[in-house]
A and B are shown apart, each in its own frame.
Chain A
């Protein structure tokens, strides 16, 4: 089914100069491979077309079931040069969660259960 990314992941964003970073974290390990396949740098660039003037780089963090995106030239010059309301890209993390992806129904169900607090988002520790 087609769902917004917020059904599969959560995120945090920040800045380095004129580059924004968005870390996207799968709600459950089962969702990660679908993020890797569907959530491409090109799709993220299109989603942020209103602010992103440069390239988008993507890094995979399978240990964290997370993807890290660097959106270059996206903060109006960055730092105190920028005239943007969100000159540090603080809202981009929540903003990316509206991007829609096609994923199998059962993956969405697992993530929904994590969001509802019915199952843990990561396997419980054996310690």
Chain B
């Protein structure tokens, strides 16, 4: 906390693959107390799990390690602590890579690294099911036993308690697995201000702050529809939360960077991936986004106050990924005149050939890119004049073989199909394994006693 009683939590990554310069600028362009880095989306854990199966030292966000090696001196000198879920399904391997890399980096004192384990339920699934945890799909109600032999990864969304423990043990860098995204922001706030674990309103305010931080530049001018042409996006400043002990906070960014923070950019992020706004469930409280007051203070500063929350529930969400067959998507481009008609004819021909080959698919989907594909619109009369149309066909099947065969049926259309076709330079489409998502709930008591914080100085 600075002398002004404000705690600054800067956002540095909104997903695995986000802009690598952002966290460096966040640390080097001005004072922040915490840097939060969110790497995990719904499907990321299963990708990491597949990597770990092939290589026991993989399964985490690998680009996190060189980033920290680059920033190590700045973190120590600036007193900036890092909170991240970069550990994915293998926080220990992430820690080991950090420790080994930091051995070659000169810093004025060692960095203390904490890792959090215990959110990974993969090794415990049989026991959990046997002891009556059904892990039913939240959307369909089906029990997990239906697909148990196809599960790739299963992780509980955990809350702030291990982050609080790590910070109390003076960790400079806290690496978790499937921490809930917002906890990477509200964990530090609860630690700094000493809020009670049942101070639902203030924790809910921290959740709202976390929701703003967790998507990186999206709260600070990235992706904004309001005056999008006027935003300087070449070197965007990512959002910074300046929090007060009463739970109110200001969203801002470093003044010398681009991007923009206004009532519009912040409100857009508040409604992003929103369900019932009054019932935003996290492991540590239920936040009411309908209670937040947004005030634009000008000069890239937006104040949020008045947030209310309610007690946490007895359940944690579990993110499960399972094998659900194979898919491939391919395409060709048809040019005018009559581009759309040619693409439609090509679709008919391709579907007829798939039928002749007697292949079984769960789904075959055709889209005409340029003619309303994104919103599934019926093309109007003006579509006849389109200079070109992308034919995009995807298939999905339980078995690999029919999908493989489909990938060989696109190229023949170049010579044995309608005219004016191009755009096959990329070659045959790739067969992808389908990882389906299975959201479930579990009693928090079945998870929380397994959570462990390990601390290492490097």
When chains A and B are docked, how far (Å) is the Cα of A50 from the Cα of B267? 28
Contacts of B275 in A (CB 8 A): 16, 21, 68, 70
Q: Does A83 lie within 8 Å of B363, measured CB to CB?
A: yes
Contact A85 B373 (CB under 8 A): yes
When distances are taken between beta carbons in the complex, the residues of chain B under 8 Å from A17 are: 42, 139, 437, 439
When A25-B264, A66-B267 are in contact, do A16 and B273 touch as well, CB less than 8 Å? yes
B434 part of interface (Cβ distance < 8 Å): yes
Q: Which residues of B contact A125 (CB under 8 A)?
A: 295-298, 303
Chain A residue with minimal CB distance to B296?
A: A122
Query: Hey, which chain B residues are within 8 Å of A94, CB to CB?
Result: 225
B78 within 8 A of A: no
Determine whether the beta carbon of B43 is less than 8 Å from that of A122: no
Interface string of B263-305 (1 = CB under 8 A from A): 1100111111111111000000000011111111110000100
Interface centre among A16, A83, A117 (most CB of B within 10 A): A83
B434 lies within 8 A of A81 (CB): yes
- Once bound together, how far apart are the Cα atoms of A51 and B374, in whole Å? 9
CB-contact partner of B268 in A10, A70, A81, under 8 A: A10
- B19 within 8 Å of A by Cβ? no
Q: What distance in Å separates the Cβ of A92 from its nearest Cβ neighbour in chain B?
A: 7
Contact A95 B267 (CB under 8 A): no
| CA–CA, A17 and B435, complex, Å | 12
Q: Is the CB of A121 within 8 A of B225?
A: no
A79 within 8 A of B: yes
State whether the Cβ of B384 lies closer than 8 Å to any Cβ in chain A.
no
Q: Is the CB of B297 within 8 A of A50?
A: no
Residues in A whose Cβ lies below 8 Å from that of B424: none
Contacts of A16 in B (CB 8 A): 273, 275
Q: How many residues of B contact A (CB 8 A)?
A: 56
The answer to whether B327 touches A83 (Cβ under 8 A) is: yes
**Contacts A12-B223, A85-B369 given; does A25 touch B437 at CB 8 Å:** no
Nearest B residue to A23 by beta-carbon distance?
Answer: B271
Question: How many residues of chain A have a CB within 8 Å of chain B?
Answer: 48
Instruction: For B33, list chain A residues within 8 Å (CB).
Output: none
Contact with B along A58-76 (1 / 0, CB 8 A): 0101111010101000001
Given contacts A79-B435, A81-B434, A124-B296, contact A12 B271 (CB under 8 A): yes
B436–A83 CB distance below 8 A: no
Known: A10-B225, A84-B365. A61 touches B290 (CB 8 A): yes
Identify A81's interface contact among B270, B272, B392, B396, CB under 8 A: B396
Residues of chain B within 8 A of A50, CB atoms compared: 372, 375-378
A118 near B: Cβ within 8 Å?
no
CA distance A92 to B272 in the complex (A): 12
Given contacts A12-B225, A50-B376, contact A23 B263 (CB under 8 A): no
In the complex, chain B residues whose CB is within 8 Å of the CB of A95: 374-375
Cβ < 8 Å to B, chain A residues 33-89: 48-51, 59, 61-64, 66, 68, 70, 76-81, 83-86
Tell me if B394 is interfacial: C-beta within 8 Å of chain A. Answer: yes
Measured between beta carbons, the chain B residues less than 8 angstroms from A64 are 267, 270-271, 292, 294
Find residues 360-394 in chain B having any chain A CB closer than 8 Å to their own CB: 363, 365, 367, 369, 372-378, 392, 394
Q: Residue B367 contacts which of A59, A85, A91 (CB distance < 8 angstroms)?
A: A85
CB contact under 8 A between A81 and B294, given known A12-B269, A117-B227:
no
| B395 interface hit (Cβ, 8 Å) | yes
B324 within 8 Å of A by Cβ?
Answer: yes
Q: Which residue on chain B has the smallest CB distance to residue A79?
A: B437
A-facing residues in B90-131 (Cβ within 8 Å):
none
Question: Is there an interface contact between A79 and B225, defined as CB atoms closer than 8 Å?
Answer: no
* Beta-carbon nearest neighbor of B392 in chain A: A85
Contacts of A115 in B (CB 8 A): 227
Q: In the assembled complex, how far is the CB of residue B229 from the closest CB belonging to chain A, in whole angstroms?
A: 12
Q: Out of A51, A66, A78, A122, which one reaches B437, CB within 8 Å?
A: A78
The reply to whether the CB of B432 lies closer than 8 angstroms to some CB of chain A is yes
B185 in the interface (beta carbon within 8 A) = no
- Shortest B390–chain A CB gap in Å is 9
| Contact (Cβ within 8 A) B296 A79 | no
Chain A residues within 8 Å of B276, by CB: 59
Least CB distance from B204 to A in Å reads 14
Residue of B274, B327, B394, B436 with most chain A CB atoms under a 10 A cut-off:
B274
A15 to B, closest residue via Cβ: B273
Q: Does A104 contact B (CB under 8 A)?
A: no
Q: Are B432 and A25 in contact (CB under 8 A)?
A: no
Q: Which residues from chain A contact B268 at a C-beta distance below 8 Å? A: 10-12, 23, 25
- A105 touches B (CB below 8 Å): no
CB within 8 A of A61: which of B289, B295, B435? B289
Closest B residue by C-beta to A52: B376
Interface residues of B in 425-454 (CB under 8 A from A): 432, 434-437, 439
Nearest-Cβ distance from residue A32 to partner chain B, whole angstroms: 12
| Interchain residue pairs with CB less than 8 A apart (12) | A11-B268, A14-B273, A23-B268, A61-B290, A77-B436, A80-B437, A83-B396, A86-B374, A121-B226, A121-B263, A122-B296, A127-B295
Lowest 6 CB-CB distances: which A-B pairs, in order? A23-B271, A50-B376, A83-B394, A14-B273, A51-B376, A83-B365
With A79-B437, A80-B437 known, 14 other A-B pairs at CB within 8 A are A11-B225, A14-B273, A48-B376, A49-B376, A50-B378, A63-B291, A64-B270, A66-B271, A68-B271, A91-B375, A95-B374, A97-B225, A117-B227, A120-B296
